C-alpha cells in the first residue's frame, strides 16, 4: 500500500503532529508514504515525493507544516480536477489523507464523490468544521488569546484605558468566545450575533461608573457591527475559495477609534493576527492530531473513503466528508449567552 498526505489552507499548530501520526501508523503496516507538497497544488502539479521515517522524527512539537500549504482550489478548473485524479493513479496512491479546514476538506469531499480514495483530518483554529467537537490548532490558538488577554489586563488597568483585541474568526466566533471567556474579556463581538459600537460604548461607560477604569474588548475579524460596513472593493481580491482578506477591514482599530471618539476614554487596539497560528502546539492539540492522524490511516486500511476522522465526546469516529459541504459549525447561542453573563 502507498498513501499520500497533504496539508492545505492556513497553517495551524499540530499539523506536523498529524503528519507524523499518519506516517508512523502507515509505516507500522509496512506501507509507503508520499508527501504531497503545498496542499492540493502538490496533487495538481505532481509535486509528490517519498516521506521517510527520519523526516517525521522530532516534529511532534514543531509548529507549521513540513509539507507546506496553499489555498489552491482544483475545482476552479475541471482540468485541475482531472490532474488530481490522474496523479493519484500515476503515483500509485491507494489513499490520500487531506489535513485541512472547511475549504481543503470541501475539495476532498468533492474528489471523493468522483471516486478518489480520499479521507480527511479536520484542522483550523476557527473550530468551525461541522461533525467534530474540536479541530487541530484551535486549543493552541485560544490558549494564546487567553494568555494575551492576561497580559493586556495589567497594562489596561495601570493606564485606565480600553483595549480592543482583534482575533481571527471569519464566519464563526469560537476563538473570540472561548479565548475571551478564558481571558476575562469585558465584551465580545462575534460574526454570529450582530452588535453595535453604541452598545459597547454604553458598556464601557457603565463599567467606568462602577469604578472599573479599564475594559478589554475582543472582536472577531468577521464580526458584524451595525455602524461599520465595508464594500468588496475596499477589501480587495478574493482567494480561490472566494474569501477576502479580513485584516483589510481593520475592524479592531476602527472599533477602538469609535470607542475613544464616543466616550472620551483612551482606547488602544491590538491585532493578534498570525501569532494565533504560530508556535508549538499545546498538549491537547498534539494528542488530538495524533489520534486523528492515526485514525485516518485506519479509514484508508478499511477502504472507508469519503470520510474524515472526527472527535466526538472524546471518541474518534468516522464522519462523512459530505458534512463539510453543509453549513459551518458556529458558536452555540447558549455559550455566547454565558459569556455575556460576565460582561
Report the first-to-last Cα separation within the chain, whole angstroms: 55
| Residues 151 and 242 sit within 8 Å (Cβ to Cβ) | no
Relative orientation angle of helices 283-301 and 138-159, to the nearest 10 degrees: 160
Return the exposure string of 142-165: e unless at least 16 CB atoms fall within 10 Å of the residue's CB, then b.
bbbbbebbeebbeebeeeebbbbb
pLDDT value at position 249? 73
Cα dist from 247 to 17, 31, 78, 250, whole Å: 28, 43, 31, 6
- Enter the C-alpha cell of residue 89: 493513479
- Enter the C-alpha cell of residue 114: 468522483
Domains of the chain: 2-137+281-325 (3.40.50.450), 141-277 (3.40.50.460)
- CA 261/CA 229 separation, integer angstroms: 18
pLDDT value at position 342? 83
The helix or strand, by DSSP H or E, that contains position 23, with its residue range, turns out to be helix 15-28
pLDDT value at position 17? 98
Catalytic residue numbers read: 126
pLDDT value at position 129? 97
pLDDT value at position 340? 86
pLDDT value at position 231? 57
pLDDT along the chain (343 residues), means of 10: 96 97 98 98 98 97 96 95 97 98 96 98 97 98 97 94 95 96 96 91 93 94 84 63 71 93 95 93 98 98 98 97 94 90 83
| Residues 11 and 43 sit within 8 Å (Cβ to Cβ) | no
- CA 162/CA 208 separation, integer angstroms: 10
pLDDT value at position 241? 75
pLDDT value at position 250? 84
pLDDT value at position 48? 98
Amino acid at each position: 500500500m502507498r498513501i499520500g498526505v497533504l496539508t492545505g489552507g492556513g497553517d495551524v499548530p499540530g499539523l506536523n503532529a498529524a503528519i507524523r501520526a499518519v506516517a508512523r501508523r502507515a509505516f507500522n503496516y509496512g506501507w509507503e508514504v508520499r508527501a504531497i507538497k503545498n496542499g492540493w497544488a502538490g496533487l495538481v502539479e505532481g509535486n509528490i515525493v517519498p516521506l521517510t521515517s527520519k523526516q517525521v522524527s522530532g516534529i511532534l512539537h514543531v509548529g507549521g507544516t513540513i509539507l507546506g500549504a496553499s489555498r489552491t482550489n482544483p475545482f476552479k478548473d475541471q482540468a485541475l480536477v482531472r490532474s488530481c485524479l490522474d496523479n493519484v493513479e500515476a503515483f500509485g496512491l491507494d489513499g490520500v489523507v487531506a489535513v485541512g479546514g472547511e475549504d481543503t476538506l470541501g475539495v476532498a469531499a468533492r474528489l471523493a464523490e468522483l471516486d478518489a480514495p480520499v479521507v480527511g483530518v479536520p484542522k483550523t483554529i476557527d473550530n468551525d468544521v461541522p461533525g467534530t467537537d474540536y479541530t487541530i490548532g484551535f486549543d493552541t490558538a485560544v490558549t494564546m488569546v487567553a494568555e494575551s488577554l492576561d497580559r493586556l489586563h495589567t497594562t489596561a488597568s495601570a493606564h485606565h484605558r480600553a483595549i480592543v483585541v482583534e482575533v481571527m474568526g471569519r464566519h464563526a466566533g469560537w476563538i473570540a468566545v472561548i479565548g475571551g471567556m478564558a481571558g476575562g474579556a469585558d465584551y465580545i463581538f462575534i460574526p454570529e450575533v450582530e452588535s453595535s459600537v453604541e452598545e459597547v460604548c454604553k458598556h464601557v461607560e457603565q463599567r467606568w461608573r462602577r469604578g472599573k477604569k479599564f475594559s478589554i474588548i475582543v472582536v472577531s475579524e468577521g464580526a458584524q457591527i451595525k455602524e461599520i460596513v465595508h464594500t468588496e472593493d475596499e477589501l480587495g481580491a478574493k482567494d480561490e475559495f472566494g474569501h477576502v482578506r479580513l485584516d483589510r477591514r481593520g475592524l479592531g482599530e476602527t472599533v477602538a477609534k469609535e470607542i475613544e471618539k464616543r466616550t472620551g476614554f483612551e482606547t488602544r487596539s491590538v491585532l493578534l493576527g498570525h501569532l494565533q497560528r504560530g508556535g508549538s502546539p499545546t498538549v491537547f492539540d498534539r494528542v488530538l492530531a495524533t489520534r486523528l492522524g492515526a485514525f485516518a490511516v485506519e479509514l484508508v486500511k478499511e477502504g472507508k473513503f469519503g470520510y474524515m476522522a472526527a472527535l466526538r465526546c472524546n471518541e474518534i469516529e468516522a464522519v462523512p466528508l459530505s458534512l463539510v459541504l453543509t453549513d459551518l459549525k458556529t458558536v452555540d447561542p447558549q455559550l455566547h449567552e454565558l459569556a455575556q453573563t460576565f460582561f
